[in-house]
Amino acid sequence: MEMTENDKKKEFLRRYRECERREQEILEEIQRLRMDQMFPSMVNDGMPKGSQQSDLSDYVVAMERQIGRLKRERLKKARTREQIDLAIRRMENPDEQRVLRLRYLWGLNWDDIGRKMGYDPRHARRIHGWALKNFKMS
């Protein structure tokens, strides 16, 4: 199935929220590693182990790897937000700009967008439709 022009625009605009989701997954993995290190008995399989030193160095390596991923993801997220925001700022209509920011950069639902803009949620969706029509990705 071929993507419509609006589908391509939505996919472009959704990239920022995807970066946020990946960042959150990495943060959760870092938290899991910390918990496993703090409470090793929770992952203890009952088998005798060698030195705790190798466990610690494995932990440090895993943690460094996740922190590196987190830094790269945050940089990608910042660049993506900048790129999307720049494209939105090029639009003429301030209401259309605002609805796209609230939806794709803030991740708000239609009720919240309507409330923030002082419109009925259905009207916010209509503005969104107009905004997509007028939005240019490059």
Sequence-ordered list of residues with C-beta below 8 angstroms from that of 12, at least 6 positions apart, any chain? 84, 87, 137
Residue 134 — very low, low, confident or very high, per pLDDT cuts 50/70/90?
very high
Q: State the average pLDDT over residues 82-101.
A: 98
pLDDT value for 21: 97
- Residue 51: phi and psi, rounded to 5, are -75, 155
Tokens (6 digits) for 22: 């990946």
Sequence-ordered list of residues with C-beta below 8 angstroms from that of 19, at least 6 positions apart, any chain? 73, 76, 77, 80, 81
- List, for residues 13-58, the tens digit of each pLDDT value: 999 999 999 999 999 999 999 888 877 655 555 555 554 556 788 8
Residue 58, Ramachandran bin (φ over 0: left; ψ between -120 and 50: alpha; else beta): alpha
Q: State the average pLDDT over residues 115-122.
A: 97
- List, for residues 95-107, the tens digit of each pLDDT value: 999 999 999 999 9
Q: pLDDT at residue 2 above 90?
A: no
Sequence-ordered list of residues with C-beta below 8 angstroms from that of 89, at least 6 positions apart, any chain? 97
Tokens (6 digits) for 10: 């939505």
Model confidence, pTM: 0.80
